[in-house]
Structure 1
Amino acid sequence: MCTEEPRPAALPAAEEALRTLRTGLWHWDTAAGVVTVDAEAARLLGWPPVATTVNENRVRARFHPVDWNEIDGIVRLAVTEDSLAEARLRIMDERGRVVRTVRSRSKPVFHPETGSYELFGVLQEIGEQPPGAAARSAVTGDWRRSREAFLLDAGRALAEARSTAEVLRVAARLSMPGFTPDGLAVFGVTGDHLTVIGHHGHAPGAEGPFAAMPLDTDYPAAQVVRTGRAVYLSSPGDYRRTYPTAWRLAEPFARQSWAFLPLVVAGRTIGAWMAAFSYEVTFTPDERSVLTTVARMLGQALSRAGAAENERELTDGLQRSMLPTLGPAVPGVQLAARYVPTGGGLQVGGDWYDVIALPSGRLALVIGDVQGHDVRAAGLMGQLRVALRAYAAEGHRPDAVLSRAGRFLSGLTDAVPYGATGPAPPGDTAETRFATCLYVEADPRTGELEIARAGHPEPAVRMVDGTVLQHSTAGGLPLGVDPDADYPTTRMVLEPGETLLLCTDGLIETGGHDWDTGWARIRATLEEYAGDSLEELADGLVQAVHGPSSYYTTGPLADRREDDIALLLLRCEHPEPTTPTRRTHLMVAQAEPQRIAAGRQQLRELLHDWADREQVDSAVLMVSEMVTNVLVHTDGDAVLAAEVTGEPGRRSLRVEVTDTSDDLPHRREPGELASSGRGLVLMELLADTWGVEPRGEGKTIWFELSEGPAKPEGADAS
């Protein structure tokens, strides 16, 4: 006899089962802005237990504002990870009091054509959190505030990181609120292989097995790179079951939980970030949200750092290719040079220097500055430097070299770089660029210098005793302004032991200085230097502007540099004379009477430490009269030469003014209203000795002063 087996009781309908479990259903259409709830969900939200469809604003009014603001981020994270969106939400009554806490679990569906979401989910009331879990609960305001503060600090630190190594150091120091990993690794992609960019919390060399892993390997980081989706492993068992092959590599590190997240930049996965924990982590939605946000910031920071490093490598190579070395040592000559690029952007601009060995056995020193700090300025600088080298090698004199270079640059900047038939790309035009330049031809055997200047700062000379003169030189327009411009030549002699300084205006005006205060700073540095090495002097000049070199090239001041800096130092190393001597030389042309003021200033600088300041005033007055007489009473130019010899306190000054006229001056007795005729009278009154010497062509008027003791302040001149 067969006995009938008992049949199981029929399963209740889904709606009845949910009611039994006190679980409500809801549907949210963000495109329409409406929420549909069943009777149980309506009850949990504090409404009558009747199925209804309401505007989403009515639902929003029932949730705690802090919790509602979290929903969008949770939904986006679930869409990214193709997972459920889970959140704990506080329900409030009409008076704003929290009456219950519910758990919401939903499956979001994203509609890319409208950018909207559609969510189907459940609501279920939950009890109070245990004390240990409350600190990390999604509804705990303190945890949220800690997380927001952490993300702000992390974002700021990663945004300020300038290199890949610095980004990794910042990532290693991140202390996440409530769950801090003790092992980190950042993976990159090279071809079809996974590479280890950096790691923290592991022994040196631990990255070996992971260093060149194929992307099709069954390893979590490789899968993350392939799919662009995060992998969370809450326990060693999860790891072992999901990745049995890779577990043999991970087991020796004795970690308990792992999170592998994609590093995404502009929609492209560029690598993966691993965060490993020595304790088990459940990876709640809040924790996953923090990790995802950090991974997004980390990817952006690594991308910026990589781009910056590539740019630095490019500009360093460009700089090395465009800036010359000083070449082999030249007997009897000591040279030093520096180039410091401007801060920000490309680390190369329009400043340059060059040292050229000439066929005549002389040496050409060139320093210049092309307008601008962009790629076009760097390109023009490179072409102009090559052109100047070619003209110098042909044996042209300094004035001819600059004249040809000016025509060359005018031809380059006037040309339309993109062809006559098509417009230039936006933001790039064929605007005219100019360049300043100082060209010096030096004879190492005699110290004789021939100088031609195109709108560039004048050279400075540091004498053996530390006196510094900014040497007045004739000049013309910057190169590229007028292709027919002339560049007169100035001759001077660099005495044994004296140092010639050529620099661009960045050395003078950087740091908020104007021309006068900038030169005062440079002069003080030159005067205070007591060593013999030009390399040390070059470093001292740059440090006077920026501080120590390791600081101004990489530290906070790196972005405060307003202009490129180039400087070139030259010293003739003949035996020093037994008697200290200072000399200066200046030509005042008929067409340049304004250079008389430069002569007065140059004489004051030559006598900067002369004991009797009234003698200095007298010498300046006599020089002004002598040079003015040449310009007024002759048709030629005046050549001023001044020399100081002897030991301090017992020195002699000799000043000569030479012209090409054979007419000798005569002493006259000027009337009270006469505008001339006082020159020789002044010399007789003020000079210790004076005289007129005829030359083969022209004459020289001279005077001498012997240094007297310093007079007390306010002493009677009589």
Structure 2
Amino acid sequence: MRTGEPLPAAGNPLPAVGEVLASLATGLWHWSTATGLVTVDAEAARLLGLPAEETVLTEAQTRARLHPVDWNEITGVVQLAVAEGTLAEVRIRVMDDRGRVVRVVRSRSKPSFDPVKKAYELIGTIQEVTEPSPGTPAARSAVTGDWRRSREAFLLDAGRALAEARSTEEVLRVAAGLSMPGFSPDGLAVFGVEGDRLTIIGHHGQRPGDDGPFSYMSLDTDYPAAEVVRSGRAVYLSSPEQYRERYPLTWPLAQQFGRRSWAFLPLTVAGRTMGAWMAAFTYPVAFTPDERSVLTTVARMLAQALTRAGVAETQRELTDGLQRSMLPTLGPEIPGMTLTARYIPTGGGLQVGGDWYDMIPLPRGRFALVIGDVQGHDVRAAGLMGQLRIALRAYASEGHRPDAVLSRASRFFHDITHSDDELSDLRFATCLYIEVDPATGVLEAARAGHMDPTIRMVDGTVMVRATAGGLPLGIDPDSDYPTTRLLLDTGEALMLCTDGLLETGGHDLDSGWRRIRKIMEEHQGDLEGLADALVQGVHGPSSHHTTGKLTDRREDDIAVLLLCRPGPGGGLDAVPARPATRRTMLTIAQAEPERIAEARQHLRELLHDWTSEDQRDSAVLLVSEMLTNVLVHTDADALLVAEVGNGSGGRRLRVEVTDTSDDLPHKRRPGEMASSGRGLVLIELLADAWGVAPRGEGKSIWFEIREAVHESVREPVREPVRESVRESVRESG
């Protein structure tokens, strides 16, 4: 081959060249960053610790055979060679499967760069070299030419690894694996300080128990690490003679390890020496200025990493203590009821926040479920949450009704957040308080700015139960909190949660609710399984039972409470292939016309999986008309009962509105300018069947709609009404 000609491709070497390279124990390789593949011939494969045959490797497979520091150096050398138009030469340590260096090879290559593909193409040779003994002049001269690049690559890799370590154990493990350019210690020890004593935080390269004589050593002891802590200056000992001469009293302790050189460096953070780091070598090290620079930089990074890890561990301990002290146990078993809960803290700061839940025993076998969220994810929020939880327990134990409990809690929360100007930051809290009667399944709910409860019916249908509510706690000390009565039937499950369960992973309340509804409707199993499914569906397999482990990182706190009245099988019934019957009830009082909007939303929830959107709009419009007629034309309250069931021709919706007035409705013929009188006309046009039924006291008016299997099949006479129905529904909310 003529000088300057490129080497042949690794897969097709010239016969003569291949024979020459094989006789010189030199391998040939080809690397294309565009394809991410490295092709090696038989000799190159042998040098990499692989079977001696031509092989194609991925970049990841190649990197696994090389020392990580050397891999980082290769990238820098290649870029420099391309920029200068020279050969790229680098010394590489080949590792075995256990992470040990088995040989050192020298690689030479001619790299080229394709600006279109933005990729490198390299063809080169690889040959084993004899590594000089560590610490000898030959070893230092071998790395002198590439010292700067090796040092920068090492420090970059070490800094990244130490920055990612999240515990003291991880920091020590990273420190033990550091391989410094040209001189690597085989023994490490990290010393801390407790009062006037040295402590051993961790060590590597010594047998278990060898650290005994050095543990709790007085800082006045004639020992290098103690002197480093006292003075804040590093101590370098290049030979056993230097050690024995400077520290004769403690030399016998160090002599048994058979080391030849030692470096003791201060671990300093913010000008304070928090400990010392020892790096010991089995060969003589002169500790040149370059070597001291590397050791000093590593000591600084190690001190910062240990400080971060210590703070993180302290925060985790504080978090554990706070959550265990503030989160309740669910108490004894409740006859006829099954109850479970989950709590997941936020991943930010101290991993504590303002979300909480509680179960409060009440007289006569009743109990209260409470769930809430204090604004913020910090210690202040956690402290306020603890105070509010205690206050709610006190008010409930006094025998107050749900509305009175929240009214008193709002005044209390307002007082504690406005009593101190320094601490006042206009915090508020949302809360949902439900008093439960296990014997009847009656739920009496009062809500303060929190999300409505959710009920999973026996047939698997999941609905949000609209409840009356007031302002969040602490905003207005005189706010009222009306009570809503609900019923939990046998086999149904009640879910209370904070908004963290919904608003995660880029979801808002609407899309997050659709995700949670799908999980609840598809779940088949008991209540514990449903709780786990909800948590895992949002955040993966990590979950936190009240006494379990805290999870790692979350966007927001999550609190979930699940209550079930077990069915015949002793738990949640399995979801049938097609829901059998679903039913909902709602009372609208004369003084609560605003609850007609809740009734419309109630019906939409009931029909959330209805095939025809037009029919859903029609049903919502007719319910609005029927309820409005009761409130306008009578002095009675209105009772809404809506039921979806299966029939011979598919599903059927039946809606019935009952009042105590004896006045029967009649169909009128309103003029063009009339503002009323069209209710029965709309029912006749949009419903498949309807009627009026007199009761003993009062009457009920009902209508039925059969689900259209294909929305495109519509009766022609009804089509002109469709657009006006949609417009009416949009205008009415």
Higher alpha-carbon deviation: 313-322 or 468-477: 313-322
Read off the aligned partner of 1:467 and give its amino acid letter.
T
User: 2 CA distance for matches of 1:257 and 1:276?
Assistant: 6
Q: SS state of the match for residue 339, structure 1?
A: strand
Aligned counterpart for 1:538 among listed residues 526, 531, 536: 531
1:410 aligns with 2:411: no
User: 2 CA distance for matches of 1:361 and 1:569?
Assistant: 19
Residue 612 of structure 1, CA deviation: 6.7
1:569 aligns with 2:562: yes
Q: Residue 709 of structure 2 aligns with which residue?
A: 711
Q: SS state of the match for residue 171, structure 1?
A: helix
User: 2 CA distance for matches of 1:233 and 1:607?
Assistant: 81
Q: Residue 667 of structure 1 aligns with which residue?
A: 667
Note the alpha carbon deviations across 1:49-73, whole angstroms, 9 max, x for none.
xxxxxxxxxxxxxxxxxxxxxxxxx
Read off the aligned partner of 1:628 and give its amino acid letter.
T
1:582 aligns with 2:582: yes
Change (3 A) 1:567 1:551: closer
Q: SS state of the match for residue 472, structure 1?
A: coil
Q: Residue 40 of structure 1 aligns with which residue?
A: none
Read off the aligned partner of 2:464 and give its amino acid letter.
Q
Change (3 A) 1:205 1:550: farther
Residue 269 of structure 1, CA deviation: 1.9
Q: SS state of the match for residue 509, structure 1?
A: coil
Where does 1:120-519 land on structure 2 (aligned, <5 Å)? 132-137=139-144, 140=145, 142-416=146-420, 424=422, 429-519=423-513
Residue 390 of structure 1, CA deviation: 1.0
Note the alpha carbon deviations across 1:135-170, whole angstroms, 9 max, x for none.
455xx5x31232123223322332332221122122
Q: Residue 627 of structure 2 aligns with which residue?
A: 627
Residue 296 of structure 1, CA deviation: 1.6
Note the alpha carbon deviations across 1:11-41, whole angstroms, 9 max, x for none.
xxxxxxxxxxxxxxxxxxxxxxxxxxxxxxx
User: 1 CA distance for matches of 2:501 and 2:615?
Assistant: 34
Note the alpha carbon deviations across 1:496-535, whole angstroms, 9 max, x for none.
2211111111211122222211111111221222222x23
1:548 aligns with 2:561: no
Q: SS state of the match for residue 282, structure 1?
A: coil
Change (3 A) 1:207 1:649: farther
User: 2 CA distance for matches of 1:286 and 1:612?
Assistant: 77
Q: Does the CA-based 8 Å contact 1:263-1:270 persist in structure 2?
A: yes
Change (3 A) 1:374 1:247: same
Q: Does the CA-based 8 Å contact 1:135-1:143 persist in structure 2?
A: no
Read off the aligned partner of 1:543 and give its amino acid letter.
Q
Change (3 A) 1:618 1:132: closer
Residue 362 of structure 1, CA deviation: 1.2
Change (3 A) 1:178 1:587: farther
Note the alpha carbon deviations across 1:610-662, whole angstroms, 9 max, x for none.
56766545433332221121232234543322233458976554433234544
Change (3 A) 1:509 1:611: closer
Higher alpha-carbon deviation: 379-388 or 240-249: 240-249
User: 2 CA distance for matches of 1:148 and 1:268?
Assistant: 27
Note the alpha carbon deviations across 1:186-235, whole angstroms, 9 max, x for none.
11122232211112233334333333333333332223223322222223
Q: SS state of the match for residue 470, structure 2?
A: coil
Residue 240 of structure 1, CA deviation: 3.7
Q: SS state of the match for residue 469, structure 2?
A: coil
User: 2 CA distance for matches of 1:400 and 1:648?
Assistant: 49
Read off the aligned partner of 1:622 and give its amino acid letter.
L
Q: Does the CA-based 8 Å contact 1:580-1:647 persist in structure 2?
A: no
User: 2 CA distance for matches of 1:282 and 1:625?
Assistant: 94
The normalised TM-score by structure 2 is: 0.72
Q: Residue 26 of structure 1 aligns with which residue?
A: none
Change (3 A) 1:648 1:256: farther
Where does 1:68-107 land on structure 2 (aligned, <5 Å)? none
Q: SS state of the match for residue 389, structure 1?
A: helix
User: 2 CA distance for matches of 1:508 and 1:619?
Assistant: 28
After superposition, the CA RMSD in angstroms is: 3.1
Q: Residue 641 of structure 1 aligns with which residue?
A: 641
Residue 438 of structure 1, CA deviation: 0.6
Residue 173 of structure 1, CA deviation: 2.2
Residue 365 of structure 1, CA deviation: 0.6
Q: Does the CA-based 8 Å contact 1:611-1:649 persist in structure 2?
A: no
Change (3 A) 1:648 1:304: farther
User: 2 CA distance for matches of 1:538 and 1:262?
Assistant: 50
User: 2 CA distance for matches of 1:365 and 1:310?
Assistant: 33
Q: Residue 606 of structure 2 aligns with which residue?
A: 606
Residue 437 of structure 1, CA deviation: 0.8
User: 2 CA distance for matches of 1:433 and 1:365?
Assistant: 23
Residue 368 of structure 1, CA deviation: 0.8
Q: Does the CA-based 8 Å contact 2:612-2:711 persist in structure 1?
A: no
User: 2 CA distance for matches of 1:299 and 1:315?
Assistant: 24
Change (3 A) 1:562 1:661: farther
Change (3 A) 1:549 1:415: same
Q: Does the CA-based 8 Å contact 2:140-2:182 persist in structure 1?
A: no
Q: Does the CA-based 8 Å contact 1:684-1:690 persist in structure 2?
A: no
Read off the aligned partner of 2:426 and give its amino acid letter.
T
User: 1 CA distance for matches of 2:417 and 2:438?
Assistant: 36
User: 1 CA distance for matches of 2:649 and 2:254?
Assistant: 83
Q: Does the CA-based 8 Å contact 2:353-2:377 persist in structure 1?
A: yes
Q: SS state of the match for residue 365, structure 2?
A: coil
Read off the aligned partner of 1:250 and give its amino acid letter.
A
Q: SS state of the match for residue 549, structure 1?
A: coil
User: 2 CA distance for matches of 1:671 and 1:180?
Assistant: 98
Change (3 A) 1:511 1:597: same
Q: Does the CA-based 8 Å contact 2:588-2:595 persist in structure 1?
A: yes
1:596 aligns with 2:596: yes
Read off the aligned partner of 2:695 and give its amino acid letter.
P
User: 2 CA distance for matches of 1:172 and 1:551?
Assistant: 33
User: 1 CA distance for matches of 2:629 and 2:678?
Assistant: 10
Runs of 4+ in 1 over 6 A off after TM superposition: 576-579, 611-614
User: 2 CA distance for matches of 1:175 and 1:585?
Assistant: 72
1:523 aligns with 2:517: yes
Change (3 A) 1:477 1:699: farther
Q: Does the CA-based 8 Å contact 1:338-1:567 persist in structure 2?
A: yes
The normalised TM-score by structure 1 is: 0.73
Q: SS state of the match for residue 253, structure 1?
A: coil
Residue 350 of structure 1, CA deviation: 1.4
Q: Residue 109 of structure 1 aligns with which residue?
A: none
User: 1 CA distance for matches of 2:269 and 2:700?
Assistant: 77
User: 1 CA distance for matches of 2:258 and 2:139?
Assistant: 25
Give unpaired runs (5+ residues) of structure 1: 1-128, 418-423
Read off the aligned partner of 2:396 and give its amino acid letter.
A
Q: SS state of the match for residue 363, structure 2?
A: coil
Q: SS state of the match for residue 627, structure 1?
A: helix
User: 2 CA distance for matches of 1:467 and 1:267?
Assistant: 63
Read off the aligned partner of 1:369 and give its amino acid letter.
D
